[in-house]
Every structure is written in structure tokens, then in C-alpha cells.
Amino acid sequence: MMAHLIDGKEISLQIKEELKQKAIEYKERGIEVTLAVIQVGNDPASSVYVGNKKKACEFVGIRSLAYELPEETTQEELIALVKELNERADVNGILVQLPLPSHINEDFVIKTIAPEKDVDGFHPQSVGALSIGQKGFVSCTPAGIIELLKRSNIEIAGKECVVVGRSNIVGKPMALLMLRENATVTVCHSRTKDLKEVTKRADILIVALGKPRFITSEYVKDGAVVIDVGIHRDENNKLCGDVDFADVEGKVEAITPVPGGVGPMTIAMLMNNCMEAIV
């Protein structure tokens, strides 16, 4: 069986094109959407992510304000900046790139972001709203996965969905979103007994466990849909996901590649959240 390759690059481009039109309409009404991006220190991976976010803003027509703060920035200084941006009428979205240096309490900083500008969907109020089905920003990676499934015409309602990983950014909100779409949802994690037995039940298997090529064909049911959130560099410096793509591909109905699957969708959904931050 030839698996359908879920092309996140193409789908994210479609979404960004749609948002570009919306940004033009906003501009005609005198509204400029603005995202403030704060990075503390020079973590190389964070710098790449922040650079990609800026590029996406330029593409869509969102103004981005970059705050590149030194590693020694204190928690008080960072909080003061977030509070200033909360107050600014010309700033619609605020994103604090994670991880923060260890002397700064991430939870405390996230809690300071005004929920109506929390385009990452990390504020406890945003997470709470998602868990009780109320309106609020949704974490971009899981929101992007729902969009990938919908735009690939993959039915979610009534399906067995297994999420591997329970992080606050991906696993937990992913499970809540799949539940909202009426899937039957199981969440697995490092203490799950007999992981294979559980993942083999999945019609839709979403993997975010952070181990390169961990999920082999033994973990996957014939004809399943597999979504790979992981991104790693292997021993040959080649990008790979949490799923052993070459091993699994022949067995499944559809699968996301790495790169070019989930990754580009995260940024597209961030752009979408920024547009939605306009009331």
C-alpha cells in the first residue's frame, strides 16, 4: 500500500495565503496586526524558530516586533516588558519564546501575558477555556494537526485516537482537541505499560514523545493515520521524527513526513491566532 503523504508545507502555504488576503482586508480598514516576539538569550534552536516566525509574519503581512534580550535579563525586567506590551493598543499578540534561561520562572512569565494576546495558547486561562469547550487561543502545534487532518479529509469523529506524549504544549491540548472533534482518545506516556498494545489500537496515532525513530511498524495498526510531531537530527545530521518513517510508511493509510509535516503548520496556526487576536 502506498501511504498518502500529508503535505504540511503545502497546506501551511494555503493557510498563509488565506491569511494574507485577510491581512489585506484588515489593512484596507486601517488595522495592522502586530505580533511581539520576545527571545531571552541565544539558544540556537530558538533563534531558528524565532527567525521562521518573523519570516511568516512578513509573508502574511503581520507586523512583527522583535525583542532580543540578553541571557542575564532578570525575571522582573522580562515581566515589566510583557506588562508594557499588554498595555499597548498597537500590539495584538505576545509570544515569549521557550525555553527561558533557568533563573526565570516560565509559568510566572506566561501567566503575566494578557489572555487576549496569548497567541501561543499557553496561559492557564487559554488552557482552561479549551478544557471546558470555551473560546480561547489554542496551542499552535495541536491546532495545526487538527487542520492537517481536516484539510486532508481525514474523518476524526468516532475514531480511536492515541496520543503518545502528555506535554502541556502538545500532548494534553492535542487530546482535548481530538475529544472536541468527537474522537475516542487515549493518552500514553513514559509510564504506560505495554505501549505497543495501546498504539496498535489507534486509527489516528499522534506521536510527540521526543525520541528519534522510536515508533516502528510494530507499534502501528494496518491502515492507520500517523502524525509525527518529533524533530531530531540523526547521527548523519539528517532530520527525522519520532516515527521510523521508512519502516512505517508501507503499512499506513497516511503519514506526515519530517520535515514538511507538522512543523510548518505550527507557524501557520500562530499566524492564524495573531489574526484572531483582532477583535
Annotated binding site: 165-167, 231
Task: Give the residue among 206, 113, 136 at the shortest CA–CA distance from 167.
Answer: 206
Residues, the chain, total?
279
- What's the min distance (Å) between Cβ of 83 and ligand GUN? 18
- What's the min distance (Å) between Cβ of 211 and ligand GUN? 17
Asked if 66 touches ligand GUN (CB under 6 A), the answer is no
Among the residue ranges 94-102, 128-136, 182-190, 192-200, the one whose residues contact ligand GUN (CB under 6 A) = 94-102
**Nearer Cβ to ligand GUN (47/131):** 47
Contact 271, 60 (CB under 8 A): yes
Of 13, 98, 198, 239, which one interacts with ligand GUN (CB under 6 A)? 98
**Nearer Cβ to ligand GUN (248/265):** 265
Q: Cα angle vertex 62, ends 60, 65, to 5°?
A: 140
Among the residue ranges 76-84, 90-98, 147-155, 199-207, the one whose residues contact ligand GUN (CB under 6 A) = 90-98
Residues 99-128 close enough to bind ligand GUN by CB under 6 A: 120
- What's the min distance (Å) between Cβ of 126 and ligand GUN? 13
**Nearer Cβ to ligand GUN (99/223):** 99
Among the residue ranges 7-15, 89-97, 186-194, 219-227, the one whose residues contact ligand GUN (CB under 6 A) = 89-97
Asked if 244 touches ligand GUN (CB under 6 A), the answer is no
Residue listed under C-alpha cell 547521527: 235
**Binding letters toward ligand GUN, positions 184-213, x by CB under 6 A:** ------------------------------
**Nearer Cβ to ligand GUN (231/278):** 231
Asked if 138 touches ligand GUN (CB under 6 A), the answer is no
- Farthest-apart Cα atoms in the chain, separation: 57
Binding site for NADP(+), residues?
Answer: 165-167, 231
- Residue 253 to residue 5: CA distance in whole angstroms: 9
Residue type, 160: E
Catalytic residues: 53, 97, 120
In the complex, the residues that contact ligand GUN under the rule CB under 6 A are: 95-98, 120, 140, 266
